[in-house]
Structure 1
Amino acid sequence: MYHCTAMPRGFSDFIPRDRLAEADTGAFIPQTYGIPHWRILSRSGRHHGAPEGHPLYDLGTDPGETSPLEDEALQRKYETKLRDLLTRYGAPDCHFSWLGLG
């Protein structure tokens, strides 16, 4: 997974110089209109307490997200929709693999 930014600042401080020195520079995201930015290799893991897989919830009947839907067809439908949108908007290949979309 990559962190792309035009401002070398993370959530709590500036990105260290050694990480910036290893970063790629260029226009990697189509929506930047050719404006160069940094692409920094970043570790990415599961959020603490996150469930396995990609649970779907019916927020109309389960606003507290306590009972995930068990519907493989619906899961495939949304995986296809997400893959199509990522492709349409030029998401980097690493996003597909990070999301388990191959």
Structure 2
Amino acid sequence: MTDLEFMDLAERLLRAVEAGCDALNDETDADIDNQRTGGMVTLTFPNRSQIVINLQRPLHEVWMAAKSGGYHYRHVEGTWRDTKGGDEFFAALSRAASEQSGLDLQFHP
């Protein structure tokens, strides 16, 4: 994968996270504050817990830090997969956001 391909795919992922926050805020009582700074999106929940998603350009990875731990994702066969456990990014984000918010929150690519 070239740097340009990585940035295109990673940008789509970050935009999907931002759009997911907006949709969840419209459809639920989640009240997620999402702030983007360059290649990093920080989701802050009403209880002040956070999930941070940031791009690691040299490694062609997306990293996510949540209360449950830190995770590294690479784009493999059309989807972002955890480099250790193989979990899909949006499933893991949904799980972490649900745990931290106390609501059933679903993010989608």
Report the TM-score, using the length of structure 2 for normalisation: 0.26
Structure with the bigger RCO (C-alpha within 8 Å, sep 6+) is: 1
Work out which of the two has the higher radius of gyration on C-alpha atoms and give 1 or 2. Answer: 1
More helix by share: 2
